Structure 1
Amino acid sequence: MAKIKPQALLLQSKKKKAPSRISLSTIIICNIIIVLVILSLYATYRHWHYRLSNGIGTGMEDIEHLETFGESTRSGLPNYAILITGKGPITIELDKDSSRDVVDKFVNLCQKGYFKGMLFNHVIKNYIIQGGHSQKAGAAVEWILKGKSQHQLATSGKHETFVLGTGKPTKDNKEFELFITTAAISDLNDKLIIFGRVIKGEEVVQEIEKVDTDQRYQPKSPVGITNVILKQEA
Structure 2
Amino acid sequence: MSFNRVAFNTIILLLFLVGCKEEKTIKVPQEPQIKLAQDSIDAIEITSEEKEVEEFRLNEENSIEFFFDYQKDLKDNKVKLTTSMGSFIVQLYDNVPYHKANFIFLTRQGYFDGTQFHRIVENFIIQGGNSDDDETAKKRGKLGRYLLPPDSKKGYKHHRGTLSMPSSEINNPHKLASPYEFFIVVTKPGSYHLDGDFTPFGKVIQGMHVVDKINKVEVGKGDWPQNNVYIEKAEVIQ
| TM-score (normalised: structure 2) | 0.53
Q: Which residue type is aligned with residue 114 of structure 1? A: Y
Is the Cα contact below 8 Å between 1:115 and 1:225 reproduced in 2?
A: yes
Q: What residue number does 1:211 align with?
A: 217
Change (3 A) 1:128 1:105: same
Q: Superposed, which structure 2 residues align to 1:175-190 within 5 Å?
A: 175-183=179-187, 184-190=190-196
Q: What residue number does 1:166 align with?
A: 165
Is the Cα contact below 8 Å between 2:165 and 2:183 reproduced in 1?
A: yes
Q: CA offsets per residue over residues 7-63 of structure 1, 9 Å max, x none? A: xxxxxxxxxxxxxxxxxxxxxxxxxxxxxxxxxxxxxxxxxxxxxxxxxxxxxxxxx
Change (3 A) 1:74 1:195: closer
| SS of residue matched to 2:180 | coil
Deviation at 1:110, TM superposition (A): 1.0
Is the Cα contact below 8 Å between 1:167 and 1:176 reproduced in 2?
A: no
Q: Which ranges in structure 2 are unaligned for 5 or more consecutive residues?
A: 1-70, 133-155, 173-177
Deviation at 1:111, TM superposition (A): 1.4
- C-alpha distance in 1, partners of 2:219/2:208? 20
- C-alpha distance in 2, partners of 1:105/1:74? 13
Is the Cα contact below 8 Å between 2:163 and 2:204 reproduced in 1?
A: yes
Deviation at 1:191, TM superposition (A): 3.1
- C-alpha distance in 1, partners of 2:160/2:126? 11
Is the Cα contact below 8 Å between 2:80 and 2:234 reproduced in 1?
A: yes
Change (3 A) 1:169 1:190: farther
Q: Which residue type is aligned with residue 195 of structure 1? A: F
Q: Which residue type is aligned with residue 200 of structure 1? A: Q
Q: Superposed, which structure 2 residues align to 1:74-93 within 5 Å?
A: 76-93=74-91
Is the Cα contact below 8 Å between 1:77 and 1:104 reproduced in 2?
A: no
- C-alpha distance in 1, partners of 2:201/2:195? 13
The count of corresponding residues between Structure 1 and Structure 2 is 138
Q: CA offsets per residue over residues 53-99 of structure 1, 9 Å max, x none? A: xxxxxxxxxxxxxxxxxxxx9962312110111111111111112x1
Q: Which ranges in structure 1 are unaligned for 5 or more consecutive residues?
A: 1-72, 136-156
| SS of residue matched to 1:84 | strand
Runs of 4+ residues over 3 Å off in structure 1: 168-175
